């Protein structure tokens, strides 16, 4: 596939604060790519630079071959953007909102009306087409927002925290819609989120942001290889009693990288190789009772725990 977004050593400074730190990233035409990270990681700042809404401190960007710093209007013509704070005219109907957007993008009234009805059906809002958007639920507004983005028939769609504030059913419906748009229209979709499981459901690849830096990118298996190269095995155990002396004994096993105590009776052991048998032997020989021992592979929960948990409150300055 050909690259449609190319970012090279992109940096954005706000005073002494680095919102984005030497980001290099390529997004292929037709893929769904997730920018994943906690609040303050620099995801939204990156999006605004892609759209030409703010200028980078250094580095280069090309969006479908266009430099958004030099030609932001042309980028905006080719990119549909759904921000996290949606805004519609509440006294206008969903249809009228779309028709207004169509007129702003130079569509004839006939074409705008035809396209608006098609899009309302595609996003599941046909029955609400003539209702005022002030009566719409959050989920309905998100779907109308996607229809609004599609009114300009863009090459790329950028969605900033699209599931924010939705209930579980609304999240499922919206994710299905995003994936279907990608599959049916072959559209490139860039999705920003801090919800790992949602991103994993629909994204072909993910880039993990922490404090302005891209620390890993790829699909789930590639992320695991990059982030946990020295400790590819996890052993979970539940035992009683579980004291510090037993944990220290387990730490002496060759190949144990580190141990995390989860509760008064359970722990997780990160290992270079599968040490299930050796760990079980240590527990039993100590006189403790072994209630559960399970070997598992790394997944999204481990990525979240290692790289995101608590980082939302660690930021000294919030830069979205």
pLDDT computed for residue 96 by the predictor: 96
CA 270 to chain centre: 26
pLDDT computed for residue 319 by the predictor: 36
Q: Name residue 308's beta-bridge partners.
A: none
Torsion of CA 303, 309, 312, 317, to 10 degrees: -80
The SS3 of residue 320 is coil
pLDDT computed for residue 301 by the predictor: 67
pLDDT computed for residue 315 by the predictor: 40
Backbone φ, ψ for residue 33 (5° rounding): -115, 135
Angle at which helix 300-307 crosses helix 220-227, to 10 degrees, equals 40
pLDDT one digit per residue (tens) for the chain, 320 residues = 689 999 999 999 999 899 999 999 999 999 999 998 888 889 999 999 999 999 999 999 999 999 999 999 999 989 999 987 878 889 999 999 999 999 988 899 999 999 999 999 989 999 999 999 999 998 899 999 999 999 988 999 999 988 888 888 888 888 888 898 899 888 999 999 888 777 778 899 999 888 889 988 888 778 777 777 666 688 999 999 999 999 999 999 999 988 999 999 999 998 888 899 999 999 999 999 999 999 876 666 667 666 666 444 444 333 33
**Inter-residue contact 220 to 63 (CB < 8 Å):** no
pLDDT computed for residue 317 by the predictor: 33
Residue 147's Cβ-count burial label (10 Å; 0-12, 13-18, 19+) is buried
pLDDT computed for residue 84 by the predictor: 79
| All domains in the chain, ordered by first residue | 3-226 (3.40.50.300), 229-297 (3.30.70.100)
pLDDT computed for residue 46 by the predictor: 94
Could you tell me where the DSSP H helices lie in the chain? 43-50, 72-78, 94-104, 109-122, 138-150, 168-185, 196-202, 220-227, 244-251, 276-285, 300-307
Q: Is the peptide bond before 241 cis (omega within 30 degrees of 0)?
A: yes
The SS3 of residue 40 is coil
pLDDT computed for residue 236 by the predictor: 93
């Amino acid at each position: 596939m050909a690259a449609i977004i190319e970012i090279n050593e992109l940096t954005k400074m706000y005073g002494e604060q680095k919102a984005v730190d030497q980001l290099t990233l390529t997004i292929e035409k037709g893929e769904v790519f997730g920018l994943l990270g906690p609040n303050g990681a620099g995801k939204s700042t990156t999006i605004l630079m892609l759209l030409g809404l703010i200028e980078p401190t250094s580095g280069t960007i090309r969006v479908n071959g266009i430099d958004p710093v030099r030609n932001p209007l042309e980028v905006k013509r080719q990119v549909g953007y759904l921000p996290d704070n949606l805004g519609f005219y509440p006294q206008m109907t969903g249809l009228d909102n779309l028709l207004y957007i169509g007129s702003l993008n130079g569509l004839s009234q006939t074409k705008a009306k035809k396209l608006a009805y098609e899009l309302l059906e595609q996003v599941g809002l046909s029955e609400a087409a003539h209702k005022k958007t002030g009566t719409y639920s959050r989920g309905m507004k998100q779907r109308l927002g996607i229809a609004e983005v599609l009114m300009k028939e863009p090459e790329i769609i950028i969605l900033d925290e699209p599931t924010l504030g939705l209930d579980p059913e609304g999240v499922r419906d919206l994710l299905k819609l995003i994936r279907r748009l990608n599959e049916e229209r072959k559209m490139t979709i860039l999705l920003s989120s801090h919800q790992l499981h949602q991103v994993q459901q629909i994204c072909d690849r993910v880039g993990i942001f922490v404090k302005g830096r891209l620390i890993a990118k790829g699909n789930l298996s590639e992320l695991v290889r990059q982030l946990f190269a020295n400790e590819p095995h996890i052993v979970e155990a539940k035992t009683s009693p579980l004291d510090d002396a037993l944990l220290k004994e387990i730490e002496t096993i060759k190949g144990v990288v580190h141990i995390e105590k989860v509760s008064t009776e359970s722990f997780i052991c990160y290992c270079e190789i599968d040490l299930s048998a050796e760990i079980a032997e240590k527990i039993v020989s100590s006189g403790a009772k072994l209630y559960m021992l399970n070997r598992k592979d790394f997944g999204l929960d481990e990525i979240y725990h290692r790289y995101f948990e608590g980082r939302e409150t660690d930021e000294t300055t919030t830069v979205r």
